[in-house]
Amino acid sequence: MNIILDNSSGKPLYEQIKTQIASQILSGALPAGFALPSMRALAGELHVSLITTKRTYEELEREGLIETIIGKGSFVATMNLEQARSNQMKAIKASLIDIVKHARAAGICVNELIKIMEDENGQGC
């Protein structure tokens, strides 16, 4: 697993870790059944608190991307990738709707939001 944290980002560390692990799972880089490091080992490796990795794993489990077996560890869940991507798209859509509402309240148009996303993402997908 390759995880890069940006301490200067406004994004919480648990969210950065979660996003990167989820991305690796959905891309197939982490196959079903892959054993994730223990929460304690990952916390040590990334120099973050155990609470941060615990929250990350709990959210990944809630989203159905990993499963935890007491006494054995956490593993990439066996799942239908299309269903997992569909679930991710629903969560993204909900977040975008919230962002658009906030932007409208601040007088920011959708085209400005698109520009922000393009600038953030570089060349697009």
Any idea what the CATH number is for the domain that residue 49 is in?
Answer: 1.10.10.10
For residues 9 and 16, the answer to whether their CB atoms sit within 8 Å is: yes
Mean pLDDT score of the chain, rounded to an integer? 89
Q: DSSP character for 35?
A: B
Going by DSSP bridges, is the β-strand pair 66-69/73-76 parallel, antiparallel, or unpaired?
A: antiparallel
Higher pLDDT, 121 or 75: 75
Domain that holds residue 43: 13-76
Q: Which amino acid is at 34?
A: F
- Residue 3, in any domain of the structure: no
Angle at 30 between CA 53 and CA 39, to 5 degrees: 20
Asked whether residue 66 falls in the same domain as residue 98, the answer is no
pLDDT tens digits, one per residue of 21-71: 999 998 889 999 999 999 999 999 999 999 999 999 999 998 889 999 999
Residue 57 CA to residue 94 CA, distance in Å, equals: 21
Q: What tokens appear for 4 in the block?
A: 């890069």
Q: For the chain, how many structural domains are there in total? A: 2
Asked whether residue 17 falls in the same domain as residue 71, the answer is yes
Q: What is the pTM of this model?
A: 0.70
pLDDT at 125: 58
Residue 74 CA to residue 40 CA, distance in Å, equals: 12
Does residue 122 have a pLDDT over 70?
no
Does residue 80 have a pLDDT over 70?
no
pLDDT at 92: 86
Residue 44 CA to residue 112 CA, distance in Å, equals: 40
- Residue 99, in any domain of the structure: yes
- Tokens 């798209």 correspond to 89
Higher pLDDT, 45 or 117: 45
- Residue 117, in any domain of the structure: yes
pLDDT at 84: 73
pLDDT at 123: 55
For residues 81 and 38, the answer to whether their CB atoms sit within 8 Å is: no
Residue 16 CA to residue 3 CA, distance in Å, equals: 8
Residue 26 CA to residue 112 CA, distance in Å, equals: 29
Does residue 124 have a pLDDT over 60?
no
- Residue 1, in any domain of the structure: no
- Residue 24, in any domain of the structure: yes
